[in-house]
Structures are given as C-alpha cells and as structure tokens.
Amino acid sequence: MTLEQKIDKAIRNVPDFPKPGIQFKDITPILENHSLSKEIIESFAKQWEGKIDAVAGVESRGFLFGFPLALALDIPFILIRKKGKLPYKTVSYKYDLEYGSAEIEMHVDTVSTGMRVLVHDDLLATGGTAEAAAELIRKEDGFIAGFSFLVELGFLNGKERLEKYSNEIECLVNY
C-alpha cells in the first residue's frame, strides 16, 4: 500500500461535524498508529530537507505533525495561534471569514528576515487559514518556502489562493 492509501484508510470521515453539511476529516486514528505517523514525518522530512529554515504550525492540528517534522529536520518550530493564547509580545494578522473575522498571532522574535518558513497544517480546505499564516510570516519579513498538509479538499480550490506565496504546495492525500 502507498502512503497515500494508508492515510486514506486511516482517516475517519465524520458527517455533519461541526455543523450540518460538513464532512469532517478526523486524523486522530493516524495519531494512534505510530508507524504510520512516523512514515508521514519521514515523507515530509524527505520533501523539505535543505529547503527550509523553520516549520510554522497552525493551531492546533498543525502542531501535531509540524513539531515532529521540525525535530526531524533539526530546525526551529514556530507556533501560530489564535489571538490571546501566546504569553509574550506578539505580531498579529486579522482576516475575513464567511461570517465575521478571525485573528492569528505569533511571538515577535520567532521569524527573522529572509528565514525560509514552511507553513504546515493538517488540512487544506479554502486556504484562508494558511493564507493568513503566510501573511503573518511575511509581516515579519520571512520568506514562504512552501506549504504542507496531510489532506487537501481539492474541490475547494485552496491551492489557488496559496500560489501567490509559493508554488511548493505538498498534500499527501487529495479528496
């Protein structure tokens, strides 16, 4: 079985969560499978080795594979969190949602000028979250080296939104 097939088999589809009409891609069964989790990290590490200086993980499922990936590559891990969660001085970016707006933050001293940063999250849907993360990193003069996701919901065309930052967009499984 390929890695893609193994991930597809492990993901649990939960209908109507968190609201009616959404099919939630639950990755928790992957976390319970340590050999598959290791294989995923090895695959990401092979793809990004030598190309990035840091991994930025988006709260909260972006932390699950983002931090082990940074450790595997011997590079720093950056936390991107929802407003109000980080204790030290922060830089923030506000973005529009379908209804209302959201704001994400990271610590001021984490991204240095020209640092090649990989934006990582578990899943790419509309691309709004990853786009906001990219804007936040650029605000600190970081360079967006690419994006990585376990899952892409291709029918939502999220990739199109991210191509203005980098053409290096890796998704292990596509739906």
* Interacting residue ranges for ligand AMP, rule: CB under 6 A: 22-25, 58, 61, 121-129, 158
Q: Give the nearer residue to ligand AMP in terms of CB position, either 97 or 108.
A: 97
Which amino acid would we find at residue 29? P
Q: Give the nearer residue to ligand AMP in terms of CB position, either 64 or 73.
A: 64
Q: Cβ of residue 14: shortest distance to ligand AMP, in angstroms? A: 8
Active site residues: 61, 98
Q: Cβ of residue 119: shortest distance to ligand AMP, in angstroms? A: 11
Q: Cβ of residue 112: shortest distance to ligand AMP, in angstroms? A: 25
For the chain, what is the radius of gyration of the CA atoms? 16
Q: Give the nearer residue to ligand AMP in terms of CB position, either 22 or 71.
A: 22
Number of alpha carbons in the 13 Å side-chain half-sphere of residue 157: 2
Question: Treating both helix axes as pointing N-terminal to C-terminal, what angle do 62-73 and 34-48 enclose, rounded to 10 degrees?
Answer: 60
Distance separating alpha carbons of residues 113 and 99, to the nearest angstrom: 34
Q: Give the nearer residue to ligand AMP in terms of CB position, either 61 or 107.
A: 61
Q: Cβ of residue 66: shortest distance to ligand AMP, in angstroms? A: 11
* Cis peptide, bond prior to residue 101, ω within 30 of zero: no
